[in-house]
Structure 1
Amino acid sequence: MSRILLIGATGGVGHRLLPLLVEAGHAVTALHRTPAQGQVLRAAGATPLQGDLMEMDAAAMTEAAKGQDVIVFSAGAAGSGLDRTAEIDGQGPVKMIAAASANGISRVYLVSAMPEAGRGREVKPNFEVYMQTKKQADAALVASDLDWVILRPGTLLHEDGDDAVRLSPAIPYGAVKRGNVAAVLARLIDTPAIRREIFELTDGDTPVAEAVAGLIR
């Protein structure tokens, strides 16, 4: 059992990941913005912790991470503007790194994005800024001395998982169900031997447990 701070607990990946972590016996502290979200998270088995990534500084993040063994960052601005992208997708992971280091937490997991995202199709304005921000956050985590894992999913689908994925350091671009992202994250968290690795993820035909087991060196 690990004590896990889940950042992005109410998002498309986070709210699917939470019950998997609880079911596995972990004690999850779930960061959220509104009181109503807190009630839902408590009902799901988490300890809710109210906080807004747009307002939290490194000290607040450090306080939130006290007593935790693992930090999972699955939050994202989801195209809601450059300010939010910079603060959530960019500074959010940087604050997570500082919080982990200050609290002696070695294990951190970051949901990022595959570099090919958006290629070959019309994308929203500022998409390149979003991708650059994601890459900068990845680079900051890789440069740290933490035992990090970065998961880069393809195009995220608003669907539950079907236990059929493709997972490797480098794979062709494709889509992936948010439920499959959550399932892979949960399995990675329960496989601490996998660390300091970047993996790309799409839907595929390999069961999650088998796909993750195949990554162990």
Structure 2
Amino acid sequence: MFGITGRVGRLLAARLRAGGIIVSGLTRSSLPDPTLGPDGVTTVTGELGFATTREITAMISDWDVIVFAAGSNAGAQSVTNDIDDAALQRVSDAVMASPGKRLILLSVLPEAWRERQLSDDEEHYFAVKKRAEVALTRQPIDWVILRPSLLTDDPARGTVALGPAELHDEITREDVAAVLEALVLEPTISRRILEVNTGPTAISEAVGRVARSYQA
């Protein structure tokens, strides 16, 4: 996982480990991170913004599914360019060089934050996220893009609205992590852009419906 030490990344890692899934991720520090859980997560030390495609290809050699949950969170434009665009491109190139792997991108709803007066850095962030999505969809690999609405730290609800187009409201990070977990475990969902918002459908059923529609 890229972004394993982020708020959604930590939650996803914990869920996968609880389910018996082997989890590995890139971290900046070689020191053990206790917040990743007592069972531990296999980590690789490095800087995503500087890792080459060859280095990333070696890093993911034993990974079946790559989750890209890293991002600048609308920080400095240079960081957005390095992580949300260039690093994602190198990761997708590494996946293309590694047949049989899936890449799941945690992105953002285009409507997110539109109720605010956005700064130049935030406007740049959304433009870069869109450009990065377009580039990923043109790669001949097995990809999924998940666009959540405004993220909150509220307790999980366990229900969502999930589909190719959803209204923008808000959703808990716990629920987004649960959706990502379900997508990791559902290999039939491929080359789909999915939007997720607070909604009435149990997460397992919501992901199952998408999988069934894909097979229809």
- Tell me whether the two structures share a fold, i.e. TM-score over 0.5: yes
Q: Is the CA contact (8 Å cut-off) linking 1:38 and 1:49 kept in structure 2?
A: no
Moved more, 15-24 or 120-129: 120-129
Q: CA deviation at 1:54?
A: 2.1
Q: In the TM superposition, what are the counterparts of 1:1-217 in structure 2 within 5 Å?
A: 6-36=1-31, 38=33, 40-41=35-36, 43-216=38-211, 217=213
- TM-score using structure 2 length: 0.92
Per-residue deviation, 1:38? 4.0
What displacement does 1:25 show? 2.2
Contiguous gaps of at least 5 residues in structure 2: none
User: How far is 1:181 from its partner?
Assistant: 0.6
- Number of matched residues? 212
Structure 1 residues without counterparts, runs of 5 or longer: 1-5
Amino acid at match of 1:51: G
**Offset of 1:74 from its aligned partner?**
0.5
Distance 1:164 1:205 in 2: 5
The one-character-per-residue Cα deviations of 1:100-140 (angstroms, maximum 9, x if unpaired) are: 11222431100011111222321232222111111111111
Structure 1 segments of 4 or more deviating over 6 A? none
State the TM-score, normalized to the length of structure 1: 0.91
Shift of 1:40: 4.2
C-alpha separation in 2, matches of 1:73 and 1:159? 23
Deviations 1:127-158 (A, max 9, x none): 22111111111111111111111000011112
Q: Is the 8 A contact 1:9 1:30 kept in 2?
A: yes
Q: Which moved more, 1:29-38 or 1:48-57?
A: 29-38
Partner Cα distance (2:209, 2:106) in 1: 20
How big is the alpha-carbon RMSD for the aligned residues of Structure 1 and Structure 2? 1.6
Aligned-pair identity in percent equals 34
**One-letter amino acid of the counterpart of residue 191, structure 1:** E
